[in-house]
Amino acid sequence: MAEGGLGAPMRHPISWQDPDFYDAAKVEAELTRVFEICHGCRRCFNLCDSFPRLFDLIDSGPTGEVDGVDKKDYAKVVEACTLCDMCFMTKCPYVPPHPFDLDFPHLMLRARAAELKAGHGRALDKQLVETDRNGRLGDALAPLANWAVKTDNHLTRPLMEKTARIDRRAELPKFHGKSFMMRAKANPPARSAEAPARSRKAVLYATCFVNYNNPRIGEAVQAVLAKNGVETVVAYPGCCGMPQFERGDLARVAESARHVAAELKTYIDQGYDVVALVPSCALMLKFEWPLLLPEDADVKRLSEATYDASEYLVDIAKHEGLAPGLKPLPGGVTVHIACHARAQNMGQKAAEMLRLLPATEIAVIERCSGHGGSWGVMTDNFEVAIKIGKPVARSAAKNAKAFIASECPLAAMHIRQDMAMLGEEAKPALDKAGDTTYHPLELMALAYGVLPGVPTP
């Protein structure tokens, strides 16, 4: 392989069942090797905070090289990685099949997995990523839970900050009493039998966030697909495991993958497409699960059958054409392309989809919002998350559109909070957009006139 060769990037299976994967000395040696390559390149300086931290450690050391960095400080670099995959996807010239064989995000994942295996993970962090249990509890106690997570709650938020290390200033998702699964069962939308895509069938993988925290996204997707004639069912066998993946609990993720893949196999056998409603979950089903379980036939079939929600509607538009009835969205849309949508290597599907709206100006932002899943709400990371997201917030403020959207609902929420922290600079844009942010499919539902009302807890 020559320097600058044109071979397509590839990823190796994650060897999480090999004892060497967790060997502390071997992990440290690989970190040193990769850090030396990154030091000599530095193309990733403007991505997540891992790279500025690494380069600052090197530059402030006695030798100005990686050998001058205290090995204990490697943890600071590992902690800052949000596993967004943007360095692998957009910046690094040394990814496989290059001989340097560099996969920075998966190395950070390995380092976290080794730390967890060695017993260094916090017990409370494990509880925070139990999304299904926490979601069920939050929905059951929605009014109380929503009161507790308000940023102006001076009783609960300082307590959460002290015990769970969740920054008291960080906006947190709300709960809605009735999950998306419950709503879909109670009130399925009427399907248009004459619409262009009437021959399609799709199972909507609800995802933990949509199921418990924002069921309107799921209702919007189901309504838009029904408008286009698609027969839909909703399934949620369990979380995709992204929160555990970020923590390094790979055995738990593999367990989730086997379970969900086996459950969804029934639908795939019946000719259903699988549509994941959140990009992080689509990324797990399409790419990360097959790397964890490369020999699992059910996981492979699920990967091949899965679409991101925006990707699926664009596919309908290309092959059958969309049902008529879309109306303009006055004031235009600022749409943020989420990192985990970009990591699926499918193009700007949300922007491509929204450009199908008549007479609607679409402004696109393709840059990290800074949120990084649960990473950005933690006390150690919140200030950095706001700093990383500030260019996105400034772009959204400059665009001053009537609608702010992101494929990642958490990113959209974070962008709006970042805009509010800009003060007068963003006030005109916020006054125009209001308090609500959107998933792009919610805007398609709005343009069709089928967007459900905002649920009340």
3-state secondary structure the chain: CCCCCCCCCCCCCCCCCCHHHHCHHHHHHHHHHHHHHHHHHCCCCCCCCHHHHHHHHHHCCCCCCHHHCCHHHHHHHHHHCCCCCHHHHHHCCCCCCCCCCCCHHHHHHHHHHHHHHCCCCCHHHHHHCCHHHHHHHHHHCHHHHHHHHCCCCCCHHHHHHHHHCECCCCCCCCCCCCCHHHHHHHCCCCCCCCCCCCCCEEEEECCHHHHHHCHHHHHHHHHHHHHCCCEEEEECCCCCCHHHHHHCCHHHHHHHHHHHHHHHHHHHHCCCEEEECCHHHHHHHHHHHHHHCCCCHHHHHHHHHEEEHHHHHHHHHHHCCCCCCCCCCCCCEEEECCHHHHCCCCCCHHHHHHCCCCCCCEEEECCCCCCCCCHHHECCCHHHHHHHHHHHHHHHHHHCCCEEEECCHHHHHHHHHHHHHCHHHCHHHHHHHCCCCECHHHHHHHHHCCCCCCCCC
In a domain, 94, yes or no: yes
The one-letter code for the residue type at 407 is E
In a domain, 88, yes or no: yes
Label residue 3 by pLDDT band (50, 70, 90): low
Label residue 457 by pLDDT band (50, 70, 90): very low
pLDDT above 50 (res 434): yes
Of the residues 101, 117, 133, the one at which a domain ends? 117
pLDDT tens digits, one per residue of 398-416: 999 999 999 999 999 999 9
Of the residues 73, 93, 117, the one at which a domain ends? 117
Structure tokens given for 21: 């994967």
What is the arithmetic mean of pLDDT over 285-297? 97
Label residue 1 by pLDDT band (50, 70, 90): very low
pLDDT above 50 (res 9): yes
In a domain, 51, yes or no: yes
Q: What is the CATH number of the domain that holds 395?
A: 3.40.50
Label residue 453 by pLDDT band (50, 70, 90): low
Residue ranges making up the domain that contains 59: 19-117
pLDDT tens digits, one per residue of 30-63: 999 999 999 999 988 888 889 999 999 999 999 9
Number of domain units in the chain: 2
pLDDT number for residue 396 = 95
pLDDT tens digits, one per residue of 327-362: 999 999 999 999 999 889 899 999 999 999 999 999
pLDDT number for residue 66 = 94
pLDDT number for residue 7 = 66
In a domain, 171, yes or no: no
pLDDT tens digits, one per residue of 135-162: 999 999 999 999 999 999 999 999 999 9
What is the arithmetic mean of pLDDT over 278-303? 96
Q: Please, what is the Cα angle at 238 between 128 and 124, to 5 degrees?
A: 10
Residue 152 contacts residue 188 (beta carbons within 8 Å): no
**Contacts from 59-65 at CB under 8 Å and sequence distance 24+?**
65/36, 65/39
pLDDT above 60 (res 64): yes
Higher pLDDT, 124 or 151: 151
pLDDT number for residue 454 = 38
Structure tokens given for 130: 């139990």
Percent of the chain with pLDDT over 90: 81
First to last CA, the chain: 58
In a domain, 319, yes or no: no
In a domain, 438, yes or no: yes
304 CB-near residues (< 8 Å, 6+ apart): none
pLDDT above 50 (res 456): no
In a domain, 255, yes or no: no
pLDDT number for residue 375 = 85
Percent of the chain with pLDDT over 70: 97
Cis peptide before 279 (omega within 30 of 0): no
In a domain, 56, yes or no: yes
d(CA 259, CA 262): 5
pLDDT above 60 (res 455): no
Of the residues 86, 117, 148, the one at which a domain ends? 117
